[in-house]
Amino acid sequence: MHRYRSHTCGELRANNVGETTRLSGWVHRVRDHGGLLFIDLRDHYGLTQCVVDPDSPAFKLAETVRSEWCIRIDGDIKKRSDDTVNKGLGTGEIEIFIRDMEVLGDSQELPLPVFGELEYPEDIRLKYRFLDLRRDTLHANLMTRTKIINSMRRRMNEAEFNEFQTPILTASSPEGARDFLVPSRIHPGKFYALPQAPQQFKQLLMMSGFDKYFQIAPCFRDEDPRADRLPGEFYQLDVEMSFVTQEDVLTTMEPVIRGVFDEFAEGKPVTKEFPRIPYAEAIRKYGSDKPDLRNPIEMQEVTEHFAGSGFKVFARMIESDPKVQVWAIPAPKGGSRAFCDRMNSWAQSEGQPGLGYIFFRKEEDAIAGAGPIAKNIGAERTEAVRNQLGLDEGDAVFFAAGDPKKFADFAGKARTRAAEELNLIDEDQFALCWIVDFPMYEWDEENKKVDFCHNPFSMPEGGMDGLNNVEPLELNAYQYDVVCNGYEIGSGAIRNHQVEVMKKAFEIAGYDESLLEEKFGGMFRAFQYGAPPHGGMAAGVDRIVMLLVGAKNLREVTLFPMNQQAQDLMMGAPGDVFPAQLRDLHIRLNLPEA
Given a cut of 70, whether residue 174 has pLDDT beyond it is no
CATH number of 14-105: 2.40.50.140
Given a cut of 80, whether residue 305 has pLDDT beyond it is yes
Smallest Cα–Cα separation from 434: which of 245, 543, 239, 281?
281
Alpha helices, DSSP H only, in 454-497? Answer: 463-469
In 294-355, beta strands by DSSP E: 300-301, 325-331
Percent of the chain with pLDDT over 90: 88
In 396-455, beta strands by DSSP E: 396-402, 432-436, 441-444, 449-452
The pLDDT value given to residue 177: 79
pLDDT in tens, 120-146: 899 999 999 999 999 999 999 999 999
Sign of torsion over alpha carbons 297, 300, 302, 303: positive
Sorted by where each begins, the domain ranges of the chain are 14-105, 138-277+432-558, 295-421
Residue 99 assigned as binding residue? no
The pLDDT value given to residue 176: 66
Given a cut of 80, whether residue 162 has pLDDT beyond it is yes
Given a cut of 80, whether residue 226 has pLDDT beyond it is no
Residue 75 assigned as binding residue? no
Least confident interval from 115-129, 136-150, 386-400: 115-129
Domain 295-421 -> CATH class: alpha beta
Residue 488 assigned as binding residue? yes
Same fold, 14-105 and 295-421: no
pLDDT in tens, 502-543: 999 999 998 888 878 887 777 888 899 999 999 999 999 999
Q: Averaged over 439-456, what is the pLDDT? A: 90
pLDDT band with cut points at 50, 70 and 90 for residue 25 = very high
Beta-carbon-side half-sphere exposure of residue 331 (alpha carbons within 13 Å): 31
Smallest Cα–Cα separation from 234: which of 529, 555, 9?
555
Residue 445 assigned as binding residue? no
pLDDT band with cut points at 50, 70 and 90 for residue 400 = very high
Given a cut of 70, whether residue 308 has pLDDT beyond it is yes
Residue 222 assigned as binding residue? yes
**pLDDT, averaged across the chain:** 94
Number of C-beta neighbours around residue 333 at 10 A: 13
* Alpha carbon 232 to its chain's center: 15
The pLDDT value given to residue 511: 86
Which fold would CATH assign to domain 138-277+432-558?
Answer: BirA Bifunctional Protein; domain 2 (3.30.930)
Residue 221 assigned as binding residue? yes
0.75 exceeded by pTM: yes
- The secondary element (H helix, E strand) that includes residue 125 is helix 122-127
Number of C-beta neighbours around residue 209 at 10 A: 9
- The alpha-carbon radius of gyration of the chain (Å, integer) is 30
pLDDT band with cut points at 50, 70 and 90 for residue 172 = confident
The pLDDT value given to residue 517: 82
CA distances from 457 to 114, 367, 503, 505 (A): 48, 54, 10, 9
The pLDDT value given to residue 455: 84
The pLDDT value given to residue 149: 98
Q: Averaged over 434-454, what is the pLDDT? A: 92
pLDDT in tens, 450-471: 999 888 889 999 999 999 999 9
Smallest Cα–Cα separation from 407: which of 354, 465, 456, 463?
354
The pLDDT value given to residue 364: 80
Given a cut of 80, whether residue 395 has pLDDT beyond it is yes
The pLDDT value given to residue 514: 83
DSSP 415: H
Region of 582 on the Ramachandran plot (φ > 0 left; ψ -120 to 50 alpha; else beta): alpha
Residue 53 assigned as binding residue? no
Q: Averaged over 99-117, what is the pLDDT? A: 94
Residue 549 assigned as binding residue? no
Cβ within 8 Å of residue 51, ≥6 positions away: 36, 37, 38, 39, 95, 96, 97, 98
Burial class (CB in 10 A: 0-12, 13-18, 19+), 69: middle
pLDDT in tens, 472-496: 999 999 999 999 999 999 999 999 9
In contact, 210 and 223? CB cutoff 8 Å: no
DSSP 256: H
Residue 576 assigned as binding residue? no
Residue 175 assigned as binding residue? yes
Residue 135 assigned as binding residue? no
pLDDT in tens, 244-284: 999 999 999 999 999 999 999 999 999 999 999 999 999 99
